[in-house]
Amino acid sequence: MTTKEAAAQAFDEVEHELRDLSRWMYEHPEIAFEEFETSAQLAGFLTEKGFAVEYPAYGLDTAFAARIGSEGPEVVICCEIDALPEVGHACGHNIIATSAIGAGIALAPLVEDLGIRITILGTPAEEAYGGKVDLINAGAFTDAAASMMVHPANDDVVDKNFLAVAQIDVEFHGKASHAAFKPQVGVNALDAAVQAYVNVSTLRQAMYPTDKVHGVITYGGGVPNVIPAFTSMSWYVRALTKERLDELYAKVMAAFEGAAIATGCTFDVKLQGNTYTDMIVDPVMADLFAENSAALGRPMHRASEYDPGATGSTDMANVSYEVPSIHPMLDIKAELAVNHQKEFAAHTLTPTGEAAIRDGALAMAMTIIDLAEGDRWGDLGTAAP
């Protein structure tokens, strides 16, 4: 029996449990930094499977680190656990988590012979605050030789581009007054919010196709007959690189400042969570993953075949600036449904959704086996800036 066959056999023994665990996560969604039941459930499962589990970990109440192996290069497999408000696991983190756990379990009987260490890292708050950045700052990746995860999607892409993003809240402050009797003494904060939205829209013709700016008014006032003294907005600013994000961010700030000046308001801007970088895909691991995925019956496309602007963001990108990383996307055949829709969440429980757990887990495990057996560690990181 080859090493890869042994890994597949170890996975086969727990596949039904992983499917049950994915369903449990689907039925118990918890949003960013509130993943208490989820992290406890996954940490307990890994403890039962023989991993040494640190929980909570790295100063985050819902993070965990499940480790196996005594020496050699460490590979961190990221296990995202948070859901989205209202739509639950519509980004498929139940598949991400169970494929990460499956990869670790597939490798567990082999780590000593391979001379490697595996850490399954429970990473909270990817959807909102960038929990992986907090984990980076706490040292979770300091000793890692490589890191990886997989993500469900609408196509199989091994090296997808991801945009840098800043998540910001904006508040405008004016002065209340009677909207009919004395509007002239009021300072209308809703006008400022509307003007800010228009200013950003006007800016769009000067944006690159890969720039993405989108926002909503989260509070626009109380009643129509009172000039609003306060309004708030939430915005995402995205760009192809972190350098371009800095340029675009300054332009968006100018749009907000202009709205405040025009209406006589003051404004405050607050960053929400951590800023995400663009993704650096390690070419060696990407090639190995693509080869192993094809051998499993899932050939992978390349990002060069796609519009680089048609993408989102992830805090795994920040990890890629610290350690060689990959973040392949796996097609769950959700047809018209896309990420962040309830229909996509439901599709994670279908046979094609469950197939992604197996394919993702084994392709990651086999990629790590190739790195270890071929002693490819020194080849990693050639794409780093």
pLDDT band (50, 70, 90) for residue 305: confident
pTM, full prediction: 0.93
Indicate if 241 and 137 belong to the same structural domain: no
pLDDT of residue 311: 83
Q: What is the CATH number of the domain that holds 208?
A: 3.30.70.360
Return the sign of the alpha-carbon dihedral for residues 202, 206, 208, 211: negative
172 and 296 both lie in a single domain: no
Residue 288's beta-bridge partner residues?
none
Q: What is the pLDDT of residues 127-148, one digit of tens each?
A: 989 999 999 999 999 999 999 9
Query: Would residue 263 count as lying in a domain?
Result: yes
130 and 12 fall within a common domain: yes
- Rounded CA-CA distance 16/131 in Å is 29
Is 385 among the domain residues? no
Q: Are 80 and 208 part of one and the same domain? A: no
Q: What is the pLDDT of residue 335?
A: 84
Strand pairing partners for 219? 232
Specify the residue for token string 């609003």.
228
Please give the Cα distance from 245 to 241 (Å, whole number): 6
* Whether residue 239 sits in one domain with residue 151: no
- 221 found inside a domain: yes
Helix (H) or strand (E) holding 16: helix 15-27
The string over 199-213, giving b where at least 16 C-beta atoms fall within 10 Å of a residue's C-beta and e elsewhere, is bbeebeeebeebbbb
Nearest to 350 by CA among 162, 94, 87: 94
143 and 282 assigned to the same domain: yes
pLDDT at 140: 98
- Same domain, residue pair 168 and 71: no
| pLDDT score for 380 | 97
- Asked if 228 and 286 sit in the same domain, the reply is no
Domain with 254 in it: 164-271
Looking at the domain assignment, is residue 292 inside a domain? yes
pLDDT confidence band for 384 (50 / 70 / 90): very low
Q: According to the model, what pLDDT value does residue 307 have?
A: 66
Answer yes or no: do 232 and 121 share one domain. no
pLDDT digits (tens, 9 = 90+) for 76-100: 999 999 999 999 999 999 999 999 9
Query: Is residue 317, in this structure, part of any structural domain at all?
Result: yes
User: Which of 211, 241, 271 is where one domain is finished?
Assistant: 271
**What is the average per-residue pLDDT within 33-57?**
98
The total of structural domains in the chain comes to 2
Q: Comparing C-alpha atoms, which of 320, 332, 314 is closest to residue 157? A: 332
Are the CB atoms for 192 and 281 separated by under 8 Å?
Answer: no
Same domain membership, residue 283 and residue 153: yes
**Which of 215, 245, 271 is a domain's end point?**
271
Burial 36-66 (b: 16+ CB within 10 A, else e): eebbebbbebbeebebebbbbbbebebbbbb
CATH number at residue 348: 3.40.630.10
Query: Are residues 119 and 54 in contact, defined by beta-carbon separation less than 8 angstroms?
Result: no
Asked, for residue 54, whether it belongs to a domain, the answer is: yes
Q: Which among 271, 299, 321 is the end of a domain? A: 271
Residue 384 lies in a domain: no
Per-residue pLDDT tens for 243-300?
A: 999 999 999 999 999 999 999 999 999 999 999 999 999 999 999 999 999 999 999 9
Tokens of 282: 């390690």
133, 33: one domain: yes
pLDDT at 210: 92
pLDDT tens figures, 308-352: 666 889 999 999 999 999 999 999 999 889 999 999 999 999 999
* pLDDT of res. 133: 98
d(CA 380, CA 229): 55
- Asked whether residue 137 is assigned to any structural domain, the reply reads yes
Are 12 and 117 members of one domain? yes
For residue 385, is pLDDT > 50? no
**pLDDT mean over 211-222:** 97
